[in-house]
Amino acid sequence: MKLLFRQRKFSWFDMYDIYDENSKSVYIVKGDKSWGHSKRIYQDGKEVARLRRQNFLFIDRYNMYIDNKYKGYVHKELTLYHPRFYISNYGWKIKGNPFESSYSIIDSHNNQIASIKKKQLNLNDTYVLDITNDDDILMVLMIVLTIDLEKDSRESSKMVPHYKKENTEE
């Protein structure tokens, strides 16, 4: 199944729309700034999944829930060139290219679960998802949310102004 994952740029809290191949909205993701910062995935107005950020030592860890049942967590691994993410409980690997514009999710037998490609030159973050098995859609959506949240948190930390002390001696 192919899905288009698009972030809404001008929303008070982070919101995303997920469209199918026929441009029909199938999921909506709403963010809240509650304790732990979470994202909730809705289908037909009903919450079907949730991603909750938890600071774990120096790494943000994202706990995943489907139908209020804990499914595991995902976090970014520390690597030099190719971004990688770790997913507990599934045996999946997530590898990205050095430009963080495409990712592959593979299982422990090297079978592809999904491919994720970031569309370039868009005003908002937009990803094209190609998911092999429909049963994995919610897990893949939470992984894409984690990739986007992790990238956004790195970019926002770079935007913090650094003030240089002026030389007042004459």
Whole-number Å distance between alpha carbons of 145 and 124: 14
User: What one-letter code names the amino acid at 104?
Assistant: S
* 80-127: pLDDT as tens digits: 666 778 888 888 988 888 777 889 999 989 999 999 998 877 667 788
61-74 average pLDDT score: 93
The three state secondary structure string of 113-156 is EEEEEECCCCCCCEEEEEECCHHHHHHHHHHHHHHHHHHHHHHH
DSSP-based three-state secondary structure for 144: helix
Residue count of the chain, please give it.
170
- CA-based diameter of the chain, in Å? 70
pLDDT tens per residue across span 3-59: 998 888 765 567 889 999 999 999 999 987 665 578 999 999 999 999 988 876 677
**Residue-wise pLDDT tens digits, 135-165:** 999 999 999 888 887 776 655 544 444 444 4
Cβ 80 vs Cβ 98: under 8 Å: no
- pTM of the full structure: 0.81
